Copies of this chain bind each other. A is one copy, B any other.
């Protein structure tokens, strides 16, 4: 046992999360020390802007504009990488590992794209890279997958991982406003960036899903293999039609692993889920993840997926985990990617065209007899079996809307059929397709 009773923290980036962790380390210092059995002290903190009042008092000499000064400080044991972005963050984490420093990062984009190589380097150097705050804010999703579910073959992960998208979809659902108006409201409230693409196009969700999939399956994979579709095409009408059939529409991150075939589905898209699925009740900026394991069945975590203090809480849990390893004189307590690194492998990702799922379609058609028979005929030719059809008395782009739910079908067949249907002269607008998850997970 080491006799070390003070652990030095170095912070890179005093944005929202960096400021939050500085506050938490200050305000709850006594509590944390009583739980950990050692104090945590911010030795250095770097930001381009060090004159600004962040409501936190730093000791003299702590603040610097030079991130390398933080990493090089001999009193810093754990480096918090909270600057975001990819290149500088990656360079700084490499530098920290080179100097034998443990790292906590919230940088999901960097981890999703460069994580496995970083983890290999860290393991070789016997330093920890912790990343609980990178997915799901305060929800202990990384810890749950790596530690609590260690005895389970994980069958699927299904989550609402982006609070901005969930807020927008909840707003459209509750108020029937168009996407653009819901987005503007999210921006006005500070939930969405001026450039909202990372959120609404699904990138942020996909980055988080990449990390969870890697954890669940000890999986290295190509980020580009994740199928991704954003929420900008979702209309109040589709949400309303879904509700008539007992479904909600959520942007879901879905990973499913087929053990027999040794292949995975890894996809992010707007998804209709039944009202009985607990994820359907997760509204506003909240996040939730359902995980299905062979032993546990379905379980769910639910909480604030972003925000200053919830994310800081997750950073702190990583700091204390590493602190406990430091106090025990050790390095890495839990394998970085849930599996021992020599067991990491590349699992084939099934192309979206080969995915089998249920579908919602909406067509705009001329209001004349025989349309349904033509549409149904094309679907039937491609092996797509209709579960229910609903024709709505409503004018829409020179047509009337028809929506339908299908039984399980193959995406490639669906795409071919929809393109044939779109070409019919009785169809007045592009067909809409939304995938359905009939089961909870």
Measured CA separation A298–B301 after assembly (Å): 11
Q: Is A36 among interface residues, defined by CB-CB distance under 8 A?
A: yes
Q: Is the CB of B24 within 8 A of A314?
A: no
Q: Is A237 among interface residues, defined by CB-CB distance under 8 A?
A: no
Q: Is A149 among interface residues, defined by CB-CB distance under 8 A?
A: yes
Q: Is the CB of A140 within 8 A of B151?
A: no
Measured CA separation A298–B1 after assembly (Å): 36
Segment touching B, from A112-120, A245-253, A329-337: A329-337
For chain A residues 101-153, which have a beta carbon within 8 Å of chain B?
A: 132, 138-140, 143-144, 147-153
For A312, give its contact among B20, B295, B334 (CB under 8 Å): B295
Q: Is the CB of B218 within 8 A of A313?
A: no
Measured CA separation A384–B37 after assembly (Å): 46
For A295, give its contact among B24, B34, B298 (CB under 8 Å): B24
Instruction: Specify the main secondary structure of chain A where it touches its partner.
Output: mixed
Kindly report which residue of chain B lies nearest to residue A299, judged by CB atoms: B303
Enumerate chain B residues within 8 angstroms of A294, measured Cβ to Cβ: 28, 309
Q: Is the CB of B321 within 8 A of A295?
A: no
For chain A residues 282-315, which have a beta carbon within 8 Å of chain B?
A: 293-304, 307, 309-310, 312-314
Measured CB to CB, the closest approach of chain B to A139, in angstroms, equals 6
Measured CA separation A251–B152 after assembly (Å): 30
Q: Which of A34, A304, A314, A338 has the most CB atoms of chain B within a 10 A radius of its CB?
A: A34
Q: Is A324 among interface residues, defined by CB-CB distance under 8 A?
A: yes
Q: Is the CB of B328 within 8 A of A333?
A: yes
Measured CB to CB, the closest approach of chain B to A3, in angstroms, equals 15
Measured CB to CB, the closest approach of chain B to A165, in angstroms, equals 20
Measured CA separation A91–B2 after assembly (Å): 33
Q: Is the CB of B281 within 8 A of A296?
A: no
Q: Is A90 among interface residues, defined by CB-CB distance under 8 A?
A: no
User: B-facing mask of A6-42, CB < 8 A → 1, else 0?
Assistant: 0000000000000010001000100110111100000
Q: Is the CB of A301 within 8 A of B299?
A: yes
Enumerate chain B residues within 8 angstroms of A35, measured Cβ to Cβ: 150, 218, 335, 338-340, 343
A: number of interface residues (CB 8 Å): 60
For A138, give its contact among B147, B296, B325 (CB under 8 Å): B296
Q: Is A316 among interface residues, defined by CB-CB distance under 8 A?
A: yes
For A299, give its contact among B138, B309, B329 (CB under 8 Å): B138
Measured CB to CB, the closest approach of chain B to A214, in angstroms, equals 13
Measured CB to CB, the closest approach of chain B to A374, in angstroms, equals 42
Enumerate chain B residues within 8 angstroms of A317, measured Cβ to Cβ: 147-151
For A296, give its contact among B297, B309, B321 (CB under 8 Å): B309
For A313, give its contact among B295, B310, B333 (CB under 8 Å): B295
For A147, give its contact among B143, B302, B304 (CB under 8 Å): B143
Q: Is A320 among interface residues, defined by CB-CB distance under 8 A?
A: yes
Q: Is A380 among interface residues, defined by CB-CB distance under 8 A?
A: no
Measured CA separation A32–B294 after assembly (Å): 13
Measured CA separation A309–B340 after assembly (Å): 24
Q: Is A197 among interface residues, defined by CB-CB distance under 8 A?
A: no
Q: Is A383 among interface residues, defined by CB-CB distance under 8 A?
A: no
Q: Is the CB of A302 within 8 A of B299?
A: yes
Measured CB to CB, the closest approach of chain B to A184, in angstroms, equals 26
Enumerate chain B residues within 8 angstroms of A325, measured Cβ to Cβ: 328, 333
Kindly report which residue of chain B lies nearest to residue A304, judged by CB atoms: B297
Given the known interface contacts A28-B152, A143-B148, the answer about A300 and B301 at a Cβ–Cβ threshold of 8 Å is: yes
Enumerate chain B residues within 8 angstroms of A74, measured Cβ to Cβ: none
Q: Is A85 among interface residues, defined by CB-CB distance under 8 A?
A: no
Having A132-B148, A333-B333, one finds 18 other A-B pairs with CB under 8 Å, namely A20-B295, A28-B151, A34-B343, A35-B335, A138-B148, A138-B296, A138-B297, A140-B148, A147-B320, A148-B317, A149-B313, A150-B316, A152-B313, A295-B309, A299-B303, A301-B301, A302-B302, A330-B330
4 closest cross-chain pairs (CB), A and B:
A299-B303, A151-B316, A140-B148, A295-B313
